């Protein structure tokens, strides 16, 4: 098991497959991009599958989500998914993507064993999308969402970040768009993980503000707390709407900054270059790539992973005035 000194057990593994991305979202990276990780430093496909196998077979991980950067840019993605789907016990497999290119790959990913997708989409207005991402590709994202739904990668979830003065007035429009298509929308408070270190708490659109915006058009009823478990999103039922599963439609808000959910956190993270992070906001990492390439057997790698998680702090410290933003941005850490 992966357990820490506070009794939390990590059963959800986030695996970053690349730090590269084909969008340039303003809250993530600068317009000209970043210096990408050199290819030799990235885990190979076989190394990724081996580490996921150790996590599932020896450490009790039950869910694996592939992230980036943009994971669809990983050439061996379908093969990685297929190999991980063949592990025993079989983990639940999901993917977080910006949706660009998903229309071409959704069917193959489903065939390989992927269970569902989360697609990042902050607006359905083409001009706002261009401003936020510095790219004119929203149509490709729409096509990717539709293809994922058609391929059976359900529930199709949409993740959105609101930026003050840019798209914060479009929250209800985005929810209405998702409800009409049977997608489950989740808003995420902007976190201090941008490469520019330009995040400002005072400029962040809070969960309370998001709910107030939605409440101007929709009637929301809080879902009972016991349904949440270790999930980061607080969810509300949207009265008058039916979800894709025939039950009530839902919308979620992940209040990572104003209402941290650290006490119930069940995640462990693996970066594209093979570093274990026990917290999204951690300033420390444990090198598993070096152990693999140095000839360590599975038992030794598992022990390194256990030690990394045992030292996990009570919280990310984001609500502490002395909080220090990690040097590595979201694109390198994996969402």
Q: What is the pLDDT of residues 73-128, one digit of tens each?
A: 999 999 999 999 999 999 999 999 999 999 999 999 999 999 999 999 999 999 99
**Annotated binding residue at 65?**
yes
pLDDT in tens, 32-82: 767 888 999 999 999 999 999 999 999 999 999 999 999 999 999 999 999
Tell whether the model's pLDDT for residue 228 goes beyond 60. no
Six token digits for residue 115: 């269970």
Residues 6 or more apart whose CB falls under 8 angstroms from that of 106 comprise 117, 144, 147, 148, 150, 151, 153
**pLDDT, averaged across the chain:** 92
**Annotated binding residue at 178?**
no
Q: Report the range of poorest mean pLDDT among 40-54, 137-151, 246-260, 295-309.
A: 246-260
**Annotated binding residue at 27?**
yes
Strands of the sheet with 12-16, listed across from one edge: 220-222, 234-242, 248-254, 184-188, 157-160, 116-120, 92-97, 63-67, 12-16, 267-270, 275-277, 286-287
**Annotated binding residue at 14?**
yes
Confidence of residue 204 (pLDDT cuts 50, 70, 90): confident
**Annotated binding residue at 204?**
no
Residues 6 or more apart whose CB falls under 8 angstroms from that of 177 comprise 124
**Annotated binding residue at 39?**
no
Six token digits for residue 323: 């909080």
Q: What is the mean pLDDT of residues 127-152?
A: 97
pLDDT of residue 259: 86
Sequence-ordered alpha helix ranges (H) in the chain: 45-58, 77-85, 102-112, 126-133, 138-151, 171-181, 207-215, 288-293, 298-310, 330-333
291: helix, coil or strand? helix
**Annotated binding residue at 123?**
no
pLDDT in tens, 325-335: 777 766 667 76
Residues 6 or more apart whose CB falls under 8 angstroms from that of 83 comprise 45, 49
How far is it, in rounded angstroms, from Cα 135 to Cα 130?
Answer: 5
pLDDT of residue 327: 74
Q: What is the mean pLDDT of residues 215-239?
A: 84
237 DSSP β-pair partners: 221, 250
Q: Report the range of poorest mean pLDDT among 77-91, 173-187, 234-248.
A: 234-248
**Annotated binding residue at 206?**
no
pTM, rounded to two decimals: 0.94
């Amino acid at each position: 098991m992966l357990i820490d000194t506070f009794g939390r057990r990590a059963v959800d593994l986030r695996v970053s497959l690349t730090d590269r991305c084909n969008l340039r979202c303003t809250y993530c990276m600068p317009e000209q991009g970043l210096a990408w990780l050199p290819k030799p430093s990235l885990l190979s496909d076989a190394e990724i599958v081996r580490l996921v196998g150790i996590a599932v077979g020896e450490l009790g991980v039950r869910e694996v989500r592939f992230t980036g950067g943009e994971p669809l840019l990983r050439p061996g993605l379908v093969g990685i998914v297929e190999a991980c789907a063949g592990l025993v016990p079989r983990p639940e497999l999901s993917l977080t993507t910006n949706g660009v290119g998903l229309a071409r790959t959704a069917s193959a990913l489903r065939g390989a064993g992927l269970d569902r997708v989360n697609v990042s989409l902050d607006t359905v207005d083409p001009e706002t999308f261009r401003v936020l991402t510095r790219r004119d590709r929203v149509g490709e994202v729409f096509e990717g969402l539709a293809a994922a739904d058609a391929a059976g990668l359900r529930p199709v979830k949409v993740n959105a970040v609101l930026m003050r003065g840019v798209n914060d007035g479009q929250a209800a429009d985005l929810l209405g768009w998702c409800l009409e298509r049977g997608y489950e929308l989740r808003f995420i408070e902007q976190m201090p993980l941008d490469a520019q270190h330009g995040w400002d708490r005072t400029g962040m659109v809070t969960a309370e503000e998001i709910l107030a915006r939605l409440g101007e058009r929709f009637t929301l009823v809080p879902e009972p707390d016991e349904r949440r478990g270790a999930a980061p999103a607080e969810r509300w039922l949207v009265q008058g709407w039916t979800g894709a599963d025939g039950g009530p439609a839902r919308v979620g808000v992940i209040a990572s900054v104003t209402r941290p959910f650290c006490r119930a956190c069940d995640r462990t993270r693996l970066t594209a270059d093979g570093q274990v992070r026990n917290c999204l906001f951690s300033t420390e990492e444990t090198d598993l790539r070096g152990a693999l390439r140095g000839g360590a057997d599975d038992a030794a790698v598992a022990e390194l992973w256990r030690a990394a998680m045992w030292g996990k702090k009570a919280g990310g410290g984001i609500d502490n005035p002395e909080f220090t933003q990690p040097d590595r941005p979201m694109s390198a850490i994996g969402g």
